[in-house]
Amino acid sequence: MGIIPVPRVAVIVVAAGSGTRLAAGAPKAFVGIDEHSILRHALEGVVAAPTAQVVIVAPHGRAGDAQTEAEAAFGERADLVTVVVGGDTRQQSVAAGLGALWADVEIVLVHDAARALTPPEVFERVIAEVERTGAGVVPVRPVVDTLKRVTGRVVDEAVDRAPLVAAQTPQGFPRALLEAVYAGATEEHTDDTALFAAAGHSVHTVAGDDLSFKITTPADLDRARHLLRPAAHTASVLPLVGIGTDVHAFGGDGALRLAGLEWPGEPGLRGHSDGDAVAHAIVDAVLAAAGLGDIGTNFGVDRPEYAGASGVVFLRRVRELVAEAGFAIGNVSVQVQANRPRFASRRAEAEALLTQALGAPVSVAATTTDGLGFTGAGEGVSATAVALVHRIR
């Protein structure tokens, strides 16, 4: 297979407008969406696109600020970025950007900084279509509203929306054609494919994206802010995992209590409480998942009311603590390492009892350790639990 030559792509990001309709007290590109400006968000979309040069067209007096945003967005790749100052109209600003292109650029994309949330895939689709067709390329969305042609406030006729689409950016072009069109331009056009088509060149469409909407009015800025907010929200609704381990030595008074069950005839475990390592591991795992400390901070030796308490009592209390903190328990998986007791015949009984105490599914597994370690030597029992919780308020 031969090597496919990759045309060198430049993106001109026009950011020189004043943002009259947004009226936010600063040039639109420097208005914050969250902690980052409109320009910074627009550049984050460009960073991920396969480009060799990025030209930012900045408002008068703001080239230094644009450079700072470029360095924040591009990091080590900031040498790809050229900043120039724009003109009084968008078309003049694009012309200023064209004047800064490097000699070996073959494909040019022109992008509105105001379309700050444009996903990188749109850039990829536009570049691929310019390469495939050699034409101008515009990303589009279907028109959803019913359209009317009006004179003043009177409707003349309904307009069939079927052949209509809404144009977005980035719009892509073979560099040589776009430069020739700009050099010969005599009238202002609202976008680059309009100018390109007016000069007789063909323009193809690719799918745009709803996220590519242009931030024009305060309502658009609100929409962008709402769209960026889910990131934090999602983090808080993701489940949270916790792990707990407990070990007890054989040699306690009375019969064994493990996994909430009594095991007549089996040696007991030593402990401040009943030594139920399985219940204690579950308690630690659930508390850890909910960020509520551990068994020591909640039921330690400074809490005499829990001395000798059964593991099931701890589980019921943990269930309350977790619910009070605003969490639901998803499930718990616990594994016991011990030579004795043999869990196989009582596993279902243990799972049912623990599940009832905790109010969430608990699965119990048991294993021996091939004669190795303290569990293999029959000195004690070890249990490890993993718990999943999720925030419900």
Residues of this chain that interact with Mg ion (CB under 5 A) are 17
- Output the smallest distance, CB 113 to ligand CTP, in A: 4
Phi, psi angles (nearest 5°) of residue 218: -55, -35
Q: How far apart are CA 287 and CA 284, in angstroms?
A: 5
**Residue 216 binding partner per list ligand CTP, Mg ion, none, with a CB distance cut-off of 5 to 8 Å that depends on partner kind:** ligand CTP
The H or E element spanning position 154 is strand 154-159
**Residue 168 binding partner per list Mg ion, ligand CTP, none, with a CB distance cut-off of 5 to 8 Å that depends on partner kind:** none
* The two structure tokens encoding residue 386: 């993993």
* The two structure tokens encoding residue 78: 């900031």
Which single residue is written with the structure tokens 């599940």? 355
Site for ligand CTP contains 55 (CB under 6 A): no
- Output the smallest distance, CB 293 to ligand CTP, in A: 51
Among positions 6, 21, 161, 254, the unique one binding ligand CTP when judged by CB under 6 A: 21
List C-alpha distances in Å: 305 to 94, 173, 323, 362: 76, 77, 21, 26
For residues 278 and 364, the answer to whether their CB atoms sit within 8 Å is yes
Q: Which of 170/242 has CB closer to ligand CTP?
A: 170
Phi, psi angles (nearest 5°) of residue 98: -60, -35
Site for ligand CTP contains 62 (CB under 6 A): no
Q: Which residues contact residue 329 at a Cβ distance below 8 angstroms, ignoring those fewer than 6 apart?
A: 286, 289, 319, 322, 358, 359, 360, 387, 388, 389
**Residue 156 binding partner per list ligand CTP, Mg ion, none, with a CB distance cut-off of 5 to 8 Å that depends on partner kind:** none
Q: Which of 216/298 has CB closer to ligand CTP?
A: 216
* The two structure tokens encoding residue 374: 């303290």
Site for ligand CTP contains 275 (CB under 6 A): no
Stretch that binds ligand CTP, among 85-93, 131-139, 290-298, 362-370 (CB under 6 A): 85-93
- Output the smallest distance, CB 201 to ligand CTP, in A: 21
**Residue 195 binding partner per list Mg ion, ligand CTP, none, with a CB distance cut-off of 5 to 8 Å that depends on partner kind:** none
User: What secondary structure letter does DSSP report for 47?
Assistant: H
User: Which residues on neighbouring strands pair with residue 159, listed in sequence order?
Assistant: 147
Q: How far apart are CA 239 and CA 256, in angstroms?
A: 35
Q: Which of 13/336 has CB closer to ligand CTP?
A: 13
Q: Which of 54/290 has CB closer to ligand CTP?
A: 54
Q: Which of 190/367 has CB closer to ligand CTP?
A: 190
**Maximum distance among all alpha carbons in the chain?**
100
Enumerate binding residues for ligand CTP (CB under 6 A): 14-22, 28-29, 57, 86-90, 93, 112-114, 214, 216
